[in-house]
Amino acid sequence: MAKRNLDGRNVVITGGGGGLGAALGQEFAYSGANVALLDVDFANAVVAADKIKQRRAIAIECDVTDREQCRSAIARVHEQLGPIDVLVNNAGLSHRSAFTETDLAVIHRIMDINFWGAVNCTKEALPTLLDRRGVIVVISSTAGFAPLLGRTGYAASKHALHGFFGTLRTELAADHVDVLIAAPSFVDTPLRHHTIGGDGEITDHPQSRVGKMMSPEDVAERIVWAVERRRKSLVLGNVGRLTRVLNALAPSVYERLMTRKLSSELDR
């Protein structure tokens, strides 16, 4: 299959003002694409867009949980850049707390941003993606296919992304729209410093992690590589690849190891 050429294409990235979103914007621009960075934090999106010099980059304020804002943002991309060729559903939020200590409003908030935000933006961009035989990218996590202690809502949202977009991929195959699900493990981005606790407030609890943190730049480079090569899935990092294999072949062993490594996540 021919490599996808991104030169002159228009790419939309949600959560585009954050660490991975900004890195993705830069990497797509390196590959010749124009970039629209959507973010609820408009100031961060502007800063990220201003740093992109290779191609045209714009910033648009958008709360992905609001369907009308998604519709308006996609319309503005059409007006300012043109038809959309690539949609990257990157906006996300994490929480860390035992379920027994978690207000259900926190779970709803995580699902609204991580899952429904991706569905909202995809629904609005889909007509153009169908016309352009484009690609939908979903930024998931190893938590999308394996348990992750202290993150019931986060893991649920990522599992939901895998189920929804894996199925959507089969529906769009005949229309030649690609769907890539990318699953990094631990990435060194501001998201890990803006995680909410069980009460919905930002927590200062030190985050446990396994293995070496990946840089957002390295993750972005691999994701753009996968888009160009029309990959369907991408598991990033040694920890992520080991997690997939171990959870598939010996789930009880994976759970014991994961619980041991991340036990401090449940400390109060």
- Cα–Cα distances (Å) from 225 to 155, 220, 229, in that order, read 26, 8, 6
Q: Give the separation between CA 104 and CA 200, rounded to whole angstroms.
A: 9
Strand boundaries in 23-117, DSSP class E: 34-39, 57-61, 86-89
Residue 130 inside a domain? The answer is: yes
The domain that holds 117 is classified in CATH as 3.40.50.720
Q: List the catalytic residue out of 145, 154, 186, 254.
A: 154
Quote the Cα angle for 223-226-231, to 5°.
130
Q: Whose structure tokens read 């021919």?
A: 2
pLDDT at 263: 72
pLDDT at 191: 56
Q: Give the separation between CA 41 and CA 128, rounded to whole angstroms.
A: 26
pLDDT at 194: 67
Strand boundaries in the chain, DSSP class E: 10-14, 34-39, 57-61, 86-89, 135-139, 178-183, 233-235
pLDDT at 63: 98
Strand boundaries in 18-101, DSSP class E: 34-39, 57-61, 86-89
pLDDT values of the chain reduced to their tens digit, one per residue, 268 residues: 789 999 999 999 999 998 999 999 999 999 999 999 999 999 999 999 999 998 999 999 999 999 999 999 999 999 999 999 999 999 999 988 899 999 999 999 999 999 999 999 999 999 999 999 999 999 999 999 998 888 999 999 999 999 999 999 999 999 999 999 999 987 776 655 568 888 788 876 555 555 577 899 999 999 999 999 999 999 998 888 888 998 899 989 988 988 887 776 666 5
User: Two tokens at 228?
Assistant: 């160009």
Active site residue 154: yes
Q: Give the separation between CA 146 and CA 154, rounded to whole angstroms.
A: 11
- For residue 49, the enclosing domain spans 10-266
pLDDT at 85: 98
Residue 5 inside a domain? The answer is: no
Task: Give one word for 58, left, alpha or beta, with left for phi > 0 and alpha for psi -120 to 50.
Answer: beta
Cα 153 to its chain centre, rounded Å, is 15
Cα 225 to its chain centre, rounded Å, is 16
Residue 1 inside a domain? The answer is: no
H-assigned helices in the chain: 19-30, 42-50, 67-80, 104-110, 117-132, 152-172, 216-228, 238-249, 251-261
- The number of folded domains in the chain is 1
Q: Give the separation between CA 236 and CA 80, rounded to whole angstroms.
A: 33
Instruction: Please answer whether residues 43 and 68 qualify as being in contact, where contact means their C-beta atoms are separated by less than 8 angstroms.
Output: no
Instruction: Please answer whether residues 244 and 142 qualify as being in contact, where contact means their C-beta atoms are separated by less than 8 angstroms.
Output: yes
Residue 67 inside a domain? The answer is: yes
